[in-house]
A and B are shown apart, each in its own frame.
Chain A
């Protein structure tokens, strides 16, 4: 059997979505962003809504998300993505709008925009990639950096007495009546990727029904910022991040999960 006999439509088991460009990803090897991008774009493709979908890219590692996502995109100022998405959605309510934000963007500088967009119940999807660190600027402490965790601005570990506690933004927005679906996922194993993709699909379905904010946190790694190899980073994430940021649905159909 030669290669030509293998490459046949009936043998196709996986294909890159056309909604990802061929640009090489700018993310570090081992980073979760690439997977999170791909499953988001797969959902948009599978729902057949790409002609009506507008993405809002943040400031942070995924600032160049529009280089990789082959849809119309707008790039927001740091933390302002939920306000930008609000503006888009309010003047064209039938479009699908999502923000794609990191923890510094969403939980620190954009805390206010996040809370108020969620409180207003904007019909948008918010994808929140939480890796507990500022990756783009080289590994500074984020609002989600764990207690004792080292970063370049907490070089001796996060001292919660002086630097405050890691912020559980997802639990916070789940308390607001404007959020309809709030969940926390991960993309470090095939099973987790499948679950995360299902959650993102659900989020876009909720937007279709205009039921309010659908908020999907993805706990991810930052092997460069954490100064680990990708395997150790994923293991560290499972052992340390997941206990503080437990995976699973937090709010479903507008009701907090007991």
Chain B
């Protein structure tokens, strides 16, 4: 076990990337996640592990650098915040179409447009429903602590290569900026070029030996029937993710009459609400999403048979609530509460919303 240290969420992501044996980071500064690239440059990871760090000319260039390097079977990543993630959507769609693994960190800030630099969770639709053009999905992990910021980087890389798909770590300005204690993972060695060829030689573009046909990284397939077949293959992959990769944390859900569904910093705030409610004798549990996609449909549907209502708490005008309602399927009331535009709801506000919208309603 490593020692307990104090770290910012963004720094924990950066350090965890080096420790995960990441081969390359390509990024562009944007608040509130700029500490990630700053930390990496200060750390000189090229000396520590040989990891490449490059400041690109734009978020668009950064995701395309990731695209290029990912095609070589390298563990590569980028990070940004909401407006920058919008710019990356073209590249993300191409990577989903070309089935390339990578990790994308989104430290969400409020929008739309330039919005503000304050925390938000209003990118839920963008990250879980595709984001760019075409039918595709990202695996989306939502850390709720600095510890999870550190832990999820390696998990994200493992999942990215397991499914040959981009994986997003969707955080927010609260988790990115706050300092907490964290125990860092062990240093994983970077994978050698020889080992990469051994593992991924059937698809990576590292140069064609005479012994095999050329490999091509592309999302293009002009023939509609073949494009449909390609889409069907992708859909099967997303179905497997839904079958195998649902992650969540159920806190006090066994005896709960009311469930708060939340992720990231909203789930942290909801814990205080839960304590306050239980002191008042209201049995509240928290269903914390760890994966935003795949969404825990079955689990929430099963809970709906036991409880009186759900409150979806998110720093948005109501995005995750749509998935909660689909899962609850009308069995019991499911309502949304959240402050947004960069405002963070208080535990008291969440409790009041629970009492008014669910218990009183």
B60 within 8 A of A: yes
For residue B71, give the distance in angstroms from its CB to the closest CB of chain A: 5
Known: A90-B24, A91-B24. A71 touches B67 (CB 8 A): no
Q: Check if B216 sits within 8 Å of A74, measured CB to CB.
A: yes
B188 within 8 A of A: no
Q: Check if A72 sits within 8 Å of B65, measured CB to CB.
A: no
Contacts of A141 in B (CB 8 A): none
Q: A70 is contacted by which of B60, B74, B214 (Cβ under 8 Å)?
A: B214
Chain B contact residue count (CB 8 A cutoff) = 41
B169 within 8 A of A: no
Q: B23 is contacted by which of A51, A64, A71, A91 (Cβ under 8 Å)?
A: A91
* A74–B205 CA distance with the chains assembled, in angstroms: 7
Q: Check if A54 sits within 8 Å of B206, measured CB to CB.
A: yes
A56 within 8 A of B: yes
Q: Check if A66 sits within 8 Å of B208, measured CB to CB.
A: no
Q: Check if A73 sits within 8 Å of B206, measured CB to CB.
A: no
B170-212 toward A: CB 8 Å interface, digit per residue (1/0)?
0000000000000000000000010000000000111111100
A154 within 8 A of B: no
B29-71 toward A: CB 8 Å interface, digit per residue (1/0)?
0000000000000000000000010101110111011111111
* A75–B94 CA distance with the chains assembled, in angstroms: 9
B227 within 8 A of A: no
A83 within 8 A of B: yes
* A116–B65 CA distance with the chains assembled, in angstroms: 12
Q: B218 is contacted by which of A66, A71, A88 (Cβ under 8 Å)?
A: A66
A53 within 8 A of B: yes
- List B residues 231-280 near A (Cβ within 8 Å): none
A76 within 8 A of B: yes
Q: Check if B214 sits within 8 Å of A74, measured CB to CB.
A: no
Q: Check if B205 sits within 8 Å of A72, measured CB to CB.
A: yes
Q: A73 is contacted by which of B62, B193, B217 (Cβ under 8 Å)?
A: B217
In the complex, how many residue pairs between chain A and chain B have their CB atoms under 8 Å apart?
A: 129
Q: Check if A86 sits within 8 Å of B207, measured CB to CB.
A: no
Q: Check if B207 sits within 8 Å of A54, measured CB to CB.
A: yes
A255 within 8 A of B: no
Q: Check if B65 sits within 8 Å of A83, measured CB to CB.
A: yes
* A52–B72 CA distance with the chains assembled, in angstroms: 12
* A165–B8 CA distance with the chains assembled, in angstroms: 50
Q: Check if A80 sits within 8 Å of B60, measured CB to CB.
A: yes
A56-76 toward B: CB 8 Å interface, digit per residue (1/0)?
110000011010011111111
Closest chain B residue to A67, Cβ basis: B216
Contacts of A113 in B (CB 8 A): 57, 60-61, 64
A50 within 8 A of B: yes
For residue A106, give the distance in angstroms from its CB to the closest CB of chain B: 14
- List A residues 22-68 near B (Cβ within 8 Å): 50-54, 56-57, 63-64, 66
A92 within 8 A of B: yes
* A112–B60 CA distance with the chains assembled, in angstroms: 10
Contacts of A95 in B (CB 8 A): 206-207
* A92–B62 CA distance with the chains assembled, in angstroms: 17
Residues of A within 8 A of B (CB): 50-54, 56-57, 63-64, 66, 69-77, 80, 83-88, 90-92, 95-96, 112-113, 115-116
**What are 11 of the A-B contact pairs (CB < 8 Å)?**
A51-B210, A54-B205, A69-B214, A72-B204, A75-B216, A75-B220, A77-B67, A77-B91, A84-B65, A90-B69, A91-B23
Listed from nearest, the 4 A-B pairs whose CB atoms lie closest are A87-B68, A87-B65, A84-B68, A83-B64
